Amino acid sequence: MTIETAVILAGGAGLRMRPLTDDKPKVLVEVGGRPLLDWILTWLKQNEVRRAVIGVAYKSESIVEYLNRHPPGLEIEFSQHTVEGGTAQGFRLAIERHVNDSVFFGINGDELTNVRLQELGDFHKSGKKATATIAVSPLPSPFAVVDLNGSDVIGFHEKPTLQSVYVSVGVYVLQREITDYIPAVGDIERTTFPRLANEGKLRAYRHQGFWKTVNTIKDLGEVEKELHKVVDPFSSLEK
């Protein structure tokens, strides 16, 4: 069964992207000539999602105005929360107010990826009963890795991908009962997911395709380099 609803968190103040976010939320900062949010909504449509609930906080009126001017071809609803409430408040309020589906996607609004969402959903539903599944990817090291033989340096690997270390890519499949595990404020990555893991109710889906976080101006430049390598990174990098 196709999962049709996604909750997108787009409420952060984007402090590390100032001055670009002085007058706009991070999701409206342009990446490769298009707002970050536009890339995300296009990817959702490509993956058969028909409805998006967007959790907004910082300069939320700008997001509403943008989508009114540029309808994305998805059913859109907005859920207001506070910047201080974190991802926990953002997800909790959006789910309680607007989501009746038993299973849906959760998306962090500062991630670009070509995760195949319906495959992720099938993976979640095919295994043991879990309250959430998170997409994970090998960690791209921001540093050069030094090869040692005792005290001798025998080589360098410039910013390699560490295949033995996995990190969350900010894309989730969530069951409706996830709200029982989400605190009123805070971050689900530090509260909800560790608790689910301790109870054996959290799964991981390994993603080997495209994934980039846009948190800083430096990230922005690196993401644009990746986007320019292919015509459509969200369909071409993972076959």
* Domains, in order of start, for the chain: 5-236 (3.90.550.10)
CA-CA-CA-CA torsion sign (154, 157, 158, 162): negative
CB 210: neighbour CB atoms within 10 A? 22
Rounded to two decimals, the pTM is: 0.85
Q: Say how far apart CA 163 and CA 65 lie, in whole Å.
A: 42
The two three-digit tokens of residue 79, written as one number: 């859920």
DSSP SS3 for 123: helix
Q: Say how far apart CA 164 and CA 41 lie, in whole Å.
A: 31
Q: β-pairing, 5-10 with 103-108?
A: parallel
Say which DSSP state 117 is in: H
Q: Which amino acid is at 153?
A: V
Instruction: Give, in degrees to the nearest 5, the angle at Cα 177 between 167 and 102.
Output: 95
The two three-digit tokens of residue 33, written as one number: 């000539």
239 residues of the chain, pLDDT tens digit each:
789 999 999 888 778 878 878 888 989 988 888 898 998 999 999 899 999 999 998 888 899 999 989 888 899 999 999 988 889 999 999 999 999 999 999 999 888 888 999 999 999 998 778 999 999 987 665 666 777 767 667 677 666 565 657 888 899 999 999 999 999 999 999 999 999 999 999 999 999 888 888 888 888 887 877 776 544 555 533 33
pLDDT at residue 162, as a whole number: 54
pLDDT at residue 123, as a whole number: 93
pLDDT at residue 211, as a whole number: 83
